[in-house]
């Protein structure tokens, strides 16, 4: 069984963190969201792949691209490798 991508802990009104976790946020309490590291890395890498062809910098307005090796280096860095 694979762990869920996100889990939530809740703080009650007096600030005590409840000792159960949930798969969905609760609207009536303060939510603390935890994301699985591998799910975060995968989602960020997919976004980079989808947007790698049109990268525009604010300082010079040049449109460039992100090379594939950069995305792989990013993944390895985030994994601590």
**Entry pTM:** 0.61
Does pLDDT of 15 surpass 80?
A: no
pLDDT digits (tens, 9 = 90+) for 30-70: 677 788 888 899 999 999 998 887 776 666 566 677 888 98
Q: 29 and 61, same structural domain?
A: no
Q: 28 and 17, same structural domain?
A: yes
Q: 51 and 28, same structural domain?
A: no
Instruction: Give the closest residue to 32 by CA, choosing from 17, 43, 53, 48.
Output: 17
pLDDT, residue 31, reads 72
Residue 1 lies inside a defined structural domain of this protein:
no
Tally of domains in the chain: 2
| DSSP secondary structure letters along 52-80 | TT-EE-TTT--EE---HHHHHHHHHHHHT
How far apart CA 41 and CA 44 sit, in angstroms, is 5
Q: 58 and 29, same structural domain?
A: no
Give the range of the structural domain holding residue 48, as residue numbers without chain letter.
Answer: 37-79
């Amino acid at each position: 069984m694979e762990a869920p991508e996100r889990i939530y802990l809740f703080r009650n009104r007096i600030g005590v963190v409840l000792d159960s976790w949930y798969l969905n946020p609760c609207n009536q309490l303060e939510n603390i969201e935890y994301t699985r590291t591998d799910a975060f890395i995968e989602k960020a890498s997919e976004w980079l792949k989808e947007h790698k062809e049109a990268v525009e910098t604010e300082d010079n307005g040049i449109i460039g691209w992100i090379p594939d090796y950069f995305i792989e280096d990013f993944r390895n860095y985030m994994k601590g490798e």
